[in-house]
């Protein structure tokens, strides 16, 4: 793209408007803004003529259309107060830690003391809290939940004598337990984070000083330091590359933790410093680097290198290829760089977002229900006081009623749910079908059952990032993996013939060639066509062979010199694209081996062991605009000059001579999921080449429109080229990616692929992985750079129906800048979306957009450091332990070893966790409601006295030992067998509707609780004879039995532990009756009268519910029961 769009476009409207107001008359001004407002109000659907493409207007337009805001009191009540509070808090926070403005800088080599500004420390910090903020921070996270805050208030009220009901421990023990468990868990997590940071910050590096090398910790590195980084060492901070031990003046670095790409990047040292005779000379020169202010964009850099002490001052421009960003790893040689950005200002840190505390949707829903329960509690207490007639100190009675009925909101809800979450985490980690899975955030397992959007990385997540050469097509004949030996025999034959010819008539070899080239064209044999094609593939690339000899002086790996024997054992190939490496490895397998390459020549080894040398005259690198790369070489033995070119079929089809097979074969290969490259050549005479070189050099020196002029000169060569072959390379998918994606799609999950890779590759993988089904159309969003273009392109996209969208990061940024709402709305209707060339920050931004616009739950899955921001931003982050390191899996909530495991994780564990927690939460609420209903009935019968029905241990025992185990055993319940859930992923769609826990299901439980509480209490009052103690005994025993029967009614699949829990609880209650003589009359309990009265009340409270459940299952069965029957 010609002018690069920054990652965060800042509207320049304010500056422009100010200038505008000073220079333009009022009438015109009004007129212009009238037009602007009209444009803003225009609908997105417009004809192309109706849109005037005036660039100057687009910058001044607001970012998105905003509906007319509510004003005044209505606004304040409808959330305005929240907005005001948040604004005040933000303002205070900004004052406390005022953000320093980022500025461009001048950095003197090896002189940190010359820096004008104070720059941040080069320390990595991933901790949430520090020593002072830990306790306040954890307490805030706990008490921002209504449920916990309510209990804190209730517990504190027990210190007031007039309000005291029962014992202190009945309120404080459960609350203390919850807080202690939470604090312990947070403390352990925080300590682990601290240890990881400390390990990174205390790595040692060599720093170059006037006195020689000194060792320095990573966290003590400053801007201006000269740092030496050895091979396989992590680069500690952002640096400009000054020198390398490599003869070529360049080195390779691995960037997988920065942008997720596993291919190595070539970096070039500043030529002025690379030419210095010795390392120490860096201090004898007076030089500085001017660097732009720190930015998010990892793919661009602008700066200059200036040396002042030489005759004329030397200026060298610096670009992205002269930089070494932090978190990348040196792959070859030793490098020396000058530090320009440290700590928070490095590209890698600026591209990672702070982890947020994730709260599950189920917890938020339960929080809403507890608020509803609180309103019911207040209403009930007010009714009681009203019926009392507001006698005496009525407000004190109101408070006592609030405390009496406080069991409506059970504190055991938090304890049970937290223990349940821990149990689900344990079950996930113990599942043999998904070995190696780790649960790192134990608070959100239910989220796995509510996902609507899955955002996945491509490289290393869906694919293995291992390229394999699969197909060579010559137009009339095609070779696959099983026929490669034929190619090998052709190559061996053609080279042995050439060898015998050249040795036979070595004197006349050159003239004979010349004659041959001017002879009329004869149809070539298959053998010669194969020979030409393989030679072209072996020469047209940017691959460098690297040799490692393990005979280094200090045991380190060193790069051997060129003149060593090019043995095959220790040769590896390096290139910026794994496709190219696959092609060169294939030519090696058929007998033509690339053995050496430098900036001016490359050498191939023929099957007979001859070394063939070719001089590199020009290289035209691959760009995303040209979609092709070219090279001009001169054969050393014959002096022939050949121009080879390879590229995407869209770019090459117009360049090669007319043919009737290319387009069709490209389509066939793409359908197989192969990445295609078209290879062509053109022979040049010495005169043609000289003419081209002169024009090319002239174009390179021009100041205006340099890129256009250079492209025009190169295009003059790219005409009527001879089509040699079409190659197909496969990027192998991870195991079972296709069935897994199909399962997720059937489950109603929309899948978006966000990748840093090229558009063609991303589209190819989307097809081969069946992310986009074969019948679907793909709409490739054209590159847009202005509001007008975005407008027209969105209109074109809107007319398409049911097609997948492919869009690049730059175009996406423009669309979001002007048409955020419309774009997200259109994209969400697509069955699949592919975003290519995405930066890490953009990935996180897309996740937040989906959360904000759809309100649905999102899940992000990735395996590289570049996916961390996205994983942390999503409601549920899943990391894969892959070739790109463990950074993603450490930052994620769940860590898996293979992409296919996500199917079982969601369909089985997600389903179970959500269904179980919903049942558990509602049952615990029912347990509190039923006892509060009994208390209400009891108080209303006894003249609205605020006296507790059950005291002391009965209340504690009821919530713990008597009912805890059966209720908690609901975490073992399952409605569908795992095999069924995986076989019918459509069942997952029901979960996303959230029907297992809603106000409807909650009201049903409330009605059940009121009915049962009323029956138990009135039954006990009707059947008791003389003693009040008998009421307590009958009602409490019936209550315990009812609860145990209700658990049995709720369970869908029995587990032996559930049966044990039921009988154990009943046994505990019967055994404890002997010790509860202060509450019960032991003589009465042992009579037959007691037993029949309890049995009668229990049957009346439970039997109707069993009948209703049976009828519901018969006449309106749930969807899953049809499968299990």
Neighbouring CB atoms inside 10 A of 851's CB total 16
Buried b (16+ CB within 10 A) or exposed e, 684-710: beeeebeebeebbeebeeeeeeeeebb
Could you tell me if 926 and 1046 are in contact, meaning their C-beta atoms sit under 8 angstroms apart? yes
DSSP per-residue letters across 33-74: HHHHHHHHHS-S---STT----HHHHHHS-SS--PPPP-HHH
User: Could you give the 3-state DSSP secondary structure of residue 651?
Assistant: helix
> Do the strands 451-456 and 857-862 form a parallel or antiparallel pair, or are they unpaired?
parallel
User: What six digits make up the tokens of 991?
Assistant: 């979960």
Cα(46)–Cα(791) distance, integer angstroms = 9
Catalytic-residue membership of 457? yes
Cα(869)–Cα(353) distance, integer angstroms = 5
Which of 363, 457, 579, 731 is the catalytic position?
457
Could you tell me if 418 and 185 are in contact, meaning their C-beta atoms sit under 8 angstroms apart? no
Cα(606)–Cα(840) distance, integer angstroms = 44
What is the number of residues in the chain?
1125
Q: Whose structure tokens read 């997952």? A: 988
Could you tell me if 149 and 371 are in contact, meaning their C-beta atoms sit under 8 angstroms apart? no
Please name which of 924, 1018, 1020 lies closest in space to residue 971, comparing C-alpha atoms.
924
> Do the strands 451-456 and 750-754 form a parallel or antiparallel pair, or are they unpaired?
parallel
Burial class (CB in 10 A: 0-12, 13-18, 19+), 143: middle
Could you tell me if 130 and 193 are in contact, meaning their C-beta atoms sit under 8 angstroms apart? no
Q: Whose structure tokens read 């009668």? A: 1096
Burial class (CB in 10 A: 0-12, 13-18, 19+), 167: middle
Cα(156)–Cα(163) distance, integer angstroms = 10
Burial class (CB in 10 A: 0-12, 13-18, 19+), 862: buried
Cα(970)–Cα(1051) distance, integer angstroms = 7
Q: What is the 3-state secondary structure (H, E, C) of 303-371?
A: EEEEECCCCCCEEEEECHHHEECCCCEECCCCEEEEEEECHHHCHHHHCCCCCCCCCCHHHHHHHHHHH
Cα(476)–Cα(485) distance, integer angstroms = 18
Strand order in the sheet with 544-549: 558-559, 544-549, 571-574
Please name which of 922, 1109, 929 lies closest in space to residue 1002, comparing C-alpha atoms.
922
User: What six digits make up the tokens of 440?
Assistant: 């790192």
Burial class (CB in 10 A: 0-12, 13-18, 19+), 525: exposed
Q: Provide the β-strand partners of residue 779.
A: 805
Q: Provide the β-strand partners of residue 858.
A: 453
User: What six digits make up the tokens of 926?
Assistant: 């029912």
* Strand boundaries in 621-674, DSSP class E: 628-635, 641-647
Could you tell me if 1038 and 959 are in contact, meaning their C-beta atoms sit under 8 angstroms apart? no
Buried b (16+ CB within 10 A) or exposed e, 42-51: eebeeeeeeb
Please name which of 384, 109, 129, 337 lies closest in space to residue 224, comparing C-alpha atoms.
109
Burial class (CB in 10 A: 0-12, 13-18, 19+), 720: exposed
Q: Supply the residues annotated as catalytic.
A: 457
């Amino acid at each position: 793209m010609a002018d690069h769009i920054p990652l965060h476009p800042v509207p320049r409207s304010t500056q422009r408007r100010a200038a505008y107001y000073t220079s333009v008359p009022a009438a015109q001004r009004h007129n212009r803004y009238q037009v602007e407002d009209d444009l803003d109000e225009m609908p997105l659907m417009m004809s192309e003529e109706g849109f005037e493409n005036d660039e100057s207007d687009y910058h001044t337009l607001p970012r998105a259309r905003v509906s007319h805001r509510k004003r005044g009191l209505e606004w304040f009540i409808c959330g305005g107060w929240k907005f005001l509070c948040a604004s005040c808090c933000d303002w205070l926070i900004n004052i406390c830690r005022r953000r320093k403005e980022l500025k461009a800088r001048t950095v003197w080599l090896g002189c940190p003391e010359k820096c004008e500004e104070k720059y941040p420390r080069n320390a990595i910090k991933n901790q949430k809290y520090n020593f002072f903020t830990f306790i306040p921070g954890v307490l805030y996270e706990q008490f921002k939940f209504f449920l916990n805050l309510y209990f804190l208030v209730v517990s504190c009220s027990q210190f007031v004598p007039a309000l005291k009901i029962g014992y202190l421990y009945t309120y404080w023990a459960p609350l203390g337990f919850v807080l202690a468990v939470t604090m312990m868990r947070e403390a352990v997590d925080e300590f682990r984070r601290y240890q990881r940071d400390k390990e990174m910050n205390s790595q040692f590096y060599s720093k170059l000083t006037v006195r020689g090398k000194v060792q320095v910790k990573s966290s003590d590195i400053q801007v201006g330091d000269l740092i030496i980084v050895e091979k396989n060492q992590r680069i500690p901070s952002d640096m400009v590359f000054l020198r390398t031990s490599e003869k070529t003046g360049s080195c390779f670095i691995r960037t997988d933790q920065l942008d997720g790409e596993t291919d190595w990047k070539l970096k070039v040292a500043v030529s002025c410093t690379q030419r210095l005779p010795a390392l120490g000379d860096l201090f004898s020169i007076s030089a500085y680097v001017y660097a732009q202010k720190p930015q998010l964009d990892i793919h661009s850099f602008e700066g200059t290198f200036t040396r002042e002490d030489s005759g004329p001052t030397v200026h060298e421009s610096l670009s992205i290829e002269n930089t070494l960003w932090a978190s990348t790893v040196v792959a070859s040689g030793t490098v020396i760089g000058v530090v320009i950005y440290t700590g928070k200002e490095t590209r890698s840190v600026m591209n990672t977002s702070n982890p947020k505390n994730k709260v599950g949707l189920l917890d938020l829903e339960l929080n809403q229900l507890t608020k509803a329960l609180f309103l019911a509690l207040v209403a009930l207490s007010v009714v009681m006081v009203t019926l009392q007639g507001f006698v005496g100190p009525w407000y004190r009675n109101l408070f006592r009623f609030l405390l009496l009925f406080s069991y409506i909101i059970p504190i055991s809800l938090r304890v049970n749910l937290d223990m349940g979450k821990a149990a689900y985490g344990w079950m996930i980690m113990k599942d043999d079908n998904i070995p190696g899975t780790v649960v790192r955030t134990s608070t959100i397992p239910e989220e796995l059952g509510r996902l609507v959007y899955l955002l996945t990385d491509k490289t290393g997540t869906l694919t293995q990032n291992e390229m394999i050469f699969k197909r060579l097509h010559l137009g009339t004949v095609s070779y696959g993996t099983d026929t490669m030996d034929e190619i090998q025999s052709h190559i061996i034959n053609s080279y042995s013939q050439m060898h015998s010819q050249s040795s036979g008539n070595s004197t006349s070899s050159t003239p004979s060639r010349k004659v041959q080239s001017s002879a009329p064209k004869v149809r070539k044999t298959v053998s010669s066509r194969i020979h030409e094609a393989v030679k072209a593939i072996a020469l047209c690339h940017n691959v460098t062979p690297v040799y490692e000899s393990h005979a280094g002086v200090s045991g380190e790996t060193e790069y051997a010199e060129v003149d060593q024997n090019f043995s095959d054992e220790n040769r590896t190939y390096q290139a910026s694209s794994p496709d190219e490496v696959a092609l060169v490895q294939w030519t090696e397998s058929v007998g033509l081996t690339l053995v050496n390459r430098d900036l001016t020549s490359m050498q191939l080894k023929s099957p007979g062991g001859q070394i063939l040398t070719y001089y590199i005259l020009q290289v035209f690198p691959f760009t995303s605009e040209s979609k092709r790369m070219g090279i001009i070489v001169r054969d050393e033995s014959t002096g022939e000059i050949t121009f080879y070119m390879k590229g995407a079929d869209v770019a090459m089809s117009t360049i090669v001579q007319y043919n009737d097979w290319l387009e069709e074969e490209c389509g066939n290969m793409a359908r197989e999921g192969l990445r295609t490259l078209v290879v062509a050549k053109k022979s040049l005479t010495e005169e043609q080449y000289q003419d081209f070189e002169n024009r090319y050099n002239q174009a390179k020196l021009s100041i205006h429109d340099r890129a256009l002029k250079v492209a025009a000169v190169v295009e003059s060569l790219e005409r009527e080229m001879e089509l040699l072959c079409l190659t197909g390379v496969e990027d192998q998918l991870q195991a079972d990616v296709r069935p897994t994606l199909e399962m997720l799609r059937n489950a109603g999950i929309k899948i978006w692929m966000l990748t840093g890779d090229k558009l063609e590759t991303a589209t190819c993988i989307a097809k081969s992985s069946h992310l986009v089904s074969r019948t679907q159309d793909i709409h490739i969003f054209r590159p847009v750079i202005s509001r007008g273009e975005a407008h027209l392109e969105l209109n074109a996209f809107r007319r398409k129906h049911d097609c997948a969208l492919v869009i690049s990061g730059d175009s996406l940024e423009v669309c979001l800048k002007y048409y955020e709402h419309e774009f997200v709305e259109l994209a969400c209707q697509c069955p699949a979306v592919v975003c290519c060339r995405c930066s890490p920050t953009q990935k996180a931004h897309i996740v937040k957009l989906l959360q904000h616009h759809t309100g649905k739950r999102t899940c992000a899955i990735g395996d590289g450091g570049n996916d961390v921001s996205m994983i942390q931003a999503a409601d549920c982050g899943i990391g894969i332990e892959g070739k790109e390191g463990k950074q993603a899996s450490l930052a994620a909530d769940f860590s898996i070893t293979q992409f296919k495991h996500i199917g079982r994780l969601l369909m089985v564990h997600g389903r179970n966790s959500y269904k179980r927690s919903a049942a558990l939460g509602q049952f615990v609420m029912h347990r509190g409601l039923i006892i509060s209903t009994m208390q209400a009935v009891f108080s209303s019968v006894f003249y609205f006295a605020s006296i507790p029905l059950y005291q002391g241990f009965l209340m504690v025992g009821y919530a713990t030992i008597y009912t805890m185990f059966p209720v908690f055993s609901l975490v073992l319940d399952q409605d569908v067998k795992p095999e069924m859930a995986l076989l019918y992923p459509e069942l997952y769609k029901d979960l996303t509707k959230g029907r297992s826990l809603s106000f409807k299901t909650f009201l049903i439980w409330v009605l059940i609780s009121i009915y049962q509480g009323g029956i138990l209490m009135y039954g006990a009052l009707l059947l008791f004879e003389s003693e009040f103690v008998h009421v307590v005994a009958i009602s409490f025993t019936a209550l315990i039995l009812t609860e145990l029967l209700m658990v049995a009614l709720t369970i869908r699949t029995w587990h032996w532990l559930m049966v044990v829990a039921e009988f154990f609880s009943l046994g505990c209650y019967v055994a404890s009756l002997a010790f509860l003589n202060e509450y019960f009359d032991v003589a009465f309990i042992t009579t037959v009268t007691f037993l029949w009265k309890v049995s009668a009340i229990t049957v009346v409270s439970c039997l109707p519910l069993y009948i209703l459940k049976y009828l519901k299952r018969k006449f309106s069965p749930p969807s899953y029961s049809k499968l299990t029957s």
